[in-house]
C-alpha cells in the first residue's frame, strides 16, 4: 500500500490503518502465528482475550510470548517480567 500524496484527499479510517499494520506486522510474524480478528476477540465474545477495551495488552498472548522467547528462565521470572510490562509506566530500580 502506498501513501503517496495525490491531488485527491485521502480519508483515513480505522480499517485503513489496521490493514496497513497487519500487512507490516505480517512480515515480522512467523507464518505459524495466527492473527486474531478484532470482533472475535472483543470483550463478551467466546474467544475474548480481555474483559474490556480498556485493557490494551492481551496478557495471555504476552505471557505466551515471554515463555516462548525465554524457555530457559524459571516461570517465576517470566511472571515478574509480564507483571512489570503490564503495570509499570517507568523504570524503577529495586531499592
Per residue in 50-59, pLDDT (tens digit) is 888 888 888 9
* Distance from C-alpha of 1 to C-alpha of 24, rounded to nearest angstrom: 10
Beta carbons of 94 and 84 less than 8 angstroms apart: no
Q: Which three cell numbers stand for residue 64?
A: 505466551
pLDDT score of 7 more than 50: no
* Distance from C-alpha of 86 to C-alpha of 18, rounded to nearest angstrom: 23
Confidence class of residue 40 from pLDDT cuts 50, 70 and 90? confident
The residue whose grid cell reads 467466546 is 46
Query: pLDDT (tens digit, 9 = 90+) per residue, 10-28?
Result: 677 888 888 888 788 777 7
What pLDDT, on a 0 to 100 scale, did the predictor assign at position 29? 67
Amino acid at each position: 500500500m502506498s501513501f503517496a500524496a495525490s491531488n485527491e484527499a485521502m480519508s483515513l479510517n480505522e480499517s485503513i490503518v489496521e490493514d496497513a499494520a497487519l500487512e507490516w506486522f505480517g512480515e515480522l510474524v512467523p507464518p505459524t502465528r495466527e492473527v486474531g480478528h478484532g470482533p472475535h476477540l472483543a470483550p463478551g465474545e467466546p474467544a475474548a482475550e480481555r474483559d474490556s477495551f480498556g485493557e490494551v495488552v492481551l496478557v495471555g498472548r504476552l505471557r505466551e510470548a515471554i515463555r516462548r522467547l525465554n524457555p530457559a528462565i524459571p516461570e517465576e521470572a517470566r511472571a515478574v517480567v509480564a507483571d512489570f510490562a503490564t503495570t509499570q509506566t517507568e523504570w524503577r530500580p529495586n531499592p
